[in-house]
């Protein structure tokens, strides 16, 4: 398979290196296009108002002065010389569980794969201090192999979190739904050298009610979590209810170009 590998921890990050090695060992053509420096928690940001500089490190590896999503877009439209079969993102340094996926550059890069019509996987290692990527890289390559045998389809994104345990201590793999991750959102209020107030976001993960089947719970219990995600945020069950508000524009709308009754 032709794999586009990226991350949000930056080019040369150990999680990316371990994953590139594992994928190449399985015989996949692995093209690395990654941010030149850490761009974690960038979500789906893209760069519009400044140039994207690229350094080609070798035939199949580039570092880009943009976000993870920039990397995927640039890779697929300018850098990678062949059709990409799968976008792989990670292995991230830290969890991307539950609601983390909305902030995660790792997961957003994989989502961009979907938006480009290519299926994708995001891998994260759920650890806080010690990061040993070898076992997670082995698992990632194994899952990529499983996906290629089962035909993922063009609109599938798997978000995978690996517990920080040696692989012989993993309790198994669970296909499960996203849970919830709340943070304490502590804004440290400080003074800069010029006497101006600034804030710095910190705070640990706070307790949250998670259903027993969620990814948060599964990883806490020692399982590898695999969560299929989709991009469409529409709540179909609300379409009719909100339409029931009868949102017809009133006849006197200040500055309206619509005619009354048009919606």
**Smallest gap, in angstroms, from Cβ of residue 123 to Mn ion?**
11
Distance CA 105, CA 38 (A): 10
Stretch that binds Mn ion, among 87-95, 173-181, 182-190, 212-220 (CB under 5 A): 87-95
The smaller minimum CB distance to Mn ion, of residues 154 and 202, is found at 202
Interacting residues of 234 by C-beta distance below 8 A, sequence separation 6+:
none
| Among 5, 9, 118, 123, contact with Mn ion (rule: CB under 5 A) | 9
Distance CA 17, CA 236 (A): 41
The smaller minimum CB distance to Mn ion, of residues 13 and 152, is found at 13
| Among 6, 30, 67, 92, contact with Mn ion (rule: CB under 5 A) | 92
The smaller minimum CB distance to Mn ion, of residues 91 and 226, is found at 91
Distance CA 259, CA 63 (A): 52
- Is residue 100 a contact residue for Mn ion (CB under 5 A)? no
SS (H, E, C) 108-133: HHHHHHHHCCCCEEEEEEECCCCCCC
| Structure-token pair, residue 122 | 């995001």
Report which of 142, 137, 158, 161 is spatially closest to residue 17, judged by C-alpha positions: 137
**Smallest gap, in angstroms, from Cβ of residue 212 to Mn ion?**
27
As a dihedral over the C-alpha atoms of residue 61, residue 62, residue 67, residue 70, rounded to 10 degrees, the angle is -90
| Among 6, 8, 15, 75, contact with Mn ion (rule: CB under 5 A) | 8
The smaller minimum CB distance to Mn ion, of residues 152 and 164, is found at 164
The smaller minimum CB distance to Mn ion, of residues 152 and 158, is found at 158
Instruction: Catalog residues that contact Mn ion under the rule CB under 5 A.
Output: 8-9, 40, 92
């Amino acid at each position: 398979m032709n794999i586009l590998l990226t991350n949000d921890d930056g080019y040369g990050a150990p999680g990316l290196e371990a994953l590139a090695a594992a994928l190449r060992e399985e015989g996949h053509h692995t093209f690395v296009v990654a941010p030149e420096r850490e761009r974690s928690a960038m979500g789906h940001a893209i760069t519009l108002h400044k140039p994207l500089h690229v350094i080609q490190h070798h035939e199949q590896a580039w570092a880009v002065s943009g976000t993870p999503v920039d990397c995927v877009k640039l890779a697929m439209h300018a850098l990678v010389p062949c059709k990409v079969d799968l976008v792989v993102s990670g292995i991230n340094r830290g969890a991307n569980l539950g609601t983390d996926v909305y902030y995660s550059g790792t997961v957003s890069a994989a989502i961009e794969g979907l938006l480009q019509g290519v299926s994708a996987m995001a891998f994260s290692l759920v650890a806080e201090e010690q990061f040993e990527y070898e076992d997670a890289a082995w698992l990632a390559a194994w899952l990529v192999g499983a996906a290629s045998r089962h035909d993922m389809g063009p609109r599938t994104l798997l978000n995978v979190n690996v517990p920080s345990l040696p692989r012989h201590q993993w309790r198994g793999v669970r296909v499960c739904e996203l849970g919830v991750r709340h943070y304490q959102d502590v804004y440290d209020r400080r003074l800069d050298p010029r006497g101006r107030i600034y804030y710095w976001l910190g705070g640990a993960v706070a307790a949250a009610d998670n259903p027993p089947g969620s990814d948060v719970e599964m990883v806490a219990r020692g399982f590898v979590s695999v969560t299929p995600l989709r991009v469409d945020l529409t709540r179909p069950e609300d379409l009719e209810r909100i339409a029931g508000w009868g949102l017809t524009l009133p006849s006197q709308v200040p500055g309206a170009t619509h005619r009354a009754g048009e919606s």
